[in-house]
Structure 1
Amino acid sequence: MNNNEWVKWTDSTLMEKMIILSQDEVLKYFLEESYSLELLLRLLKYQGVDGIENLYNSIVSGKPKQPAFDRYLKRLENFNLICKERSGDKRVWGIYLTDFCIQRLHFSKLTFRDMSPTLVKSIDESFTYSSRKSMSSNFTM
């Protein structure tokens, strides 16, 4: 594949993913702000981020002031797309994509497999767990 074909392929692939994302009733919230998609990709790639401030500082896209960013995170949390958990430090909140969000990404064909070991691992585990669970329920009937 030459350079022009590569650019064309990556542009069309990314555009297709953005269209699919925009058509999902919940995942579309990751396209609301100028930094939303970058936020999604960072949380996928790094399997979450320790510290809201660290996450805010890592965003390179245009971003609002910290209070508006915090409100946006709260909005994503209300839609069950991200969760905040106390990290090992206890003074810092870790920000993670929820299992619900990861499953929506998977079933929307938005796997971003090249970027997200979390997505691949969680999907594999959930399918393994659900198939084990269904097999065990078949044996107990």
Structure 2
Amino acid sequence: MDNWLVARMNQRARKQECDRLIFQNAENIYNLLWKEMTKWIEEAQQRGIDVWTNGSPYERQVGFKSVIAEQRQLTLALDKERQTIAIGGPRLFFVLQLAVCSDNTVCLKHDGKEIQIGDAAIKILDPFLFPEFAPVS
């Protein structure tokens, strides 16, 4: 029977393994999310929404080309140390957590629940591109 010390040592080893997996896969997950977002952004551009993308590898940006009364810009930032992707924009801020999920692969979580990359991209872009439909908090 394991005592508390052995249990904690096992817990530490598992956490270190999870941290290693997340660190190794964080950029790939972030890039997959950005790729999914750019797919939707390109379609939005083709349909007449005047948006642009910019930024650095760890901090991507989406904004509107046209001059509007309220400057709107969305930022997507990877923080490998905190194991998060932070999303910020006008009246929009939330964090996606990078985690090791049940199948021992790295996934995204929002509010403690696994979220697929495609769903995360829509969750990010919908209130930014269509703020008039965003829930008021």
TM-score range, shorter chain: 0.3 to 0.5
Determine which structure has the larger helix proportion and give its number. 1
